[in-house]
Amino acid sequence: MNNCIFCKIIKGVIPAEKIYEDKKVLAFLDINPVAPGHTLVIPKKHHQMMSDVPDKLLGYCFIRAKDLMVKIKKTLKADYISVSVSGVDIPHFHIHLIPRNFKDGLKGWSTRTYSKGEIEKVAKKLKK
């Protein structure tokens, strides 16, 4: 993908603070972090959404993410690492690893409540 910012980072056209790299994946610091150490893990082969990534490569990405989580947590003395996959802001599949502390004051995702009968309707659709 010629216009993909992550593909440009992989090619070295755009600089990034890389913290891990091998033949299949690249991990680098997010330039707009939720918290210091916020890391993105991406496959080097372009796939827009998680559902587009071949299973073997997807598994590899998550295993590398798990390895990095342990190292980031220990190095930055975080209580835990929050993991997120959203993939709509940049059209290249990526995993967010966000170092967190129990008292860091960061809020989670905004939530909502189901209207009457809505939860059952959604569940029924998803079970089909």
CA 8 to chain centre: 18
**Res 17 pLDDT > 90:** yes
* Catalytic status, residue 94: yes
93 neighbors 53 (Cβ within 8 angstroms): yes
Rounded Cα distance, 64 and 88, in Å: 22
Radius of gyration of the chain (CA): 17
Q: Which is more confident, 111 or 12? A: 12
Three-state DSSP class for residue 41: strand
Name the average pLDDT for the chain.
92
Model pTM? 0.88
What does the pLDDT average to over 71-98?
92
Q: What is the pLDDT of residue 1?
A: 66
The CATH number of domain 5-127 is 3.90.230.10? no
Catalytic residue among 38, 47, 92, 94: 94
Q: Pick the range with the lowest mean pLDDT from 5-14, 57-66, 99-108.
A: 99-108
Cα separation, 45 vs 92, in Å, equals 9
For the chain, which residues make up each domain, given as ranges? 5-127
